[in-house]
Amino acid sequence: MSLKVAIIGATGLVGTTMLKVLQERNFPVSQIIPVASAKSIGKFVAFNSDQIEIVTVESALAMNPDIALFSAGSSTALESATLFTELGCKVIDNSSAFRMDPNVKLIVPEINGNTLESSDGIISNPNCSTIQLVMILAPLHKKYGIKRVVISTYQSVSGTGAKAVMQLKHERHDLEAEKVYPYSIDKNCLPHCDDFTENGYTKEEMKLVNETRKILDDSSMRITATAVRVPVDSAHSESVNIEFSEPFELGEVRSILSGTDGVVVSDDVALNVYPMPIDAEGKDNVFVGRIRRDESNENSLNCWIVADNLRKGAATNAVQIAEKLVEKKLVG
């Protein structure tokens, strides 16, 4: 099978990573169709050894792609996704546009990829911080039953986009910077990821709550989150406290996580081994460490989770969804 793949938002941080991941994983591509905003039309992106011209959405539709990977924001997805599905194209959207739509599946392939069906025209890619979280929660929930989760995130600037990365770089060198954030991010931490909502939480914090429940298919799970932006280029970190319904042994928890596809246990405090953003950057696995019993609460566990937000948190997960569509013969 060889497929025509459109990348909508091909010049952004996630879009360029999608192109890279498609190459690295040898996805069966017959034609890449890069799409970007008007200012990029006529420019080129690299794919394998070729330079591919960037086109408009209208031109991409005329090329009749088999799969469209969207990473251009909610407004673009809402405007254009159905135009692609009407052609029989499968849309995998990285924005929040369809994530909580009850008729659209929210997919992390290792967890619920087998639920994909031929009728799924639009498939939603979860939020980056949610993906790494549920990769750890899912196998533990299956074994012990999770009652409550408390999450504190430490999120890199690349999660905001290229302008945020540039702000951090400029501030590090004492240069004037266009401020994407309301304050300096260098030498600082901002307890402010995305916009605040009426309940005092940010949209990012509520994504962790609502998306996790949807992916794990458990609306009763109690979840609360605080999301913080930190002066790190790439890879998000999370401190997570999990309360189980059943008792557990630490050795069994480590064994379960070690046997989970896409998860790496990095946990040997005697040798100062634990996950860090600097080690996760550029990798597709989710790393977990500092696994320890919460001595203040029965059947509770603390852990530290790190993953590259541009790869497993976005581009790689989207490509893995496309791979699952190919595996199940739902495309082409």
SS3 assignment, position 208:
helix
Quote the CA–CA distance of 184 and 168 in Å, as a whole number. Answer: 8
Q: Return the sign of the alpha-carbon dihedral for residues 192, 198, 200, 203.
A: negative
Please count the residues of the chain.
332
Q: Which of 89, 141, 236, 303 is catalytic?
A: 236
What crossing angle do the helices spanning 13-24 and 316-327 adopt, rounded to 10°? 50
Q: Which of 89, 128, 193, 303 is catalytic?
A: 128
Quote the CA–CA distance of 318 and 323 in Å, as a whole number. Answer: 9
Q: Is residue 150 within 8 Å of 221, Cβ to Cβ?
A: no
SS3 assignment, position 53:
strand
Q: Which helix (H) or strand (E) holds 212?
A: helix 203-216
Is 193 considered catalytic here?
no
DSSP state of 66: S
Strand spans (E) along 127-256: 146-155, 222-229, 236-244
Show Cβ contacts of residue 126 under 8 Å, excluding neighbours closer than 6 positions.
99, 106, 107, 108, 134, 211, 215, 317
Q: Which helix (H) or strand (E) holds 33?
A: strand 29-35
Quote the CA–CA distance of 129 and 109 in Å, as a whole number. Answer: 16
Show Cβ contacts of residue 320 under 8 Å, excluding neighbours closer than 6 positions.
109, 110, 113
Is 128 considered catalytic here?
yes
Q: Residue 246 is which amino acid?
A: E
Catalytic residue annotation: 128, 236
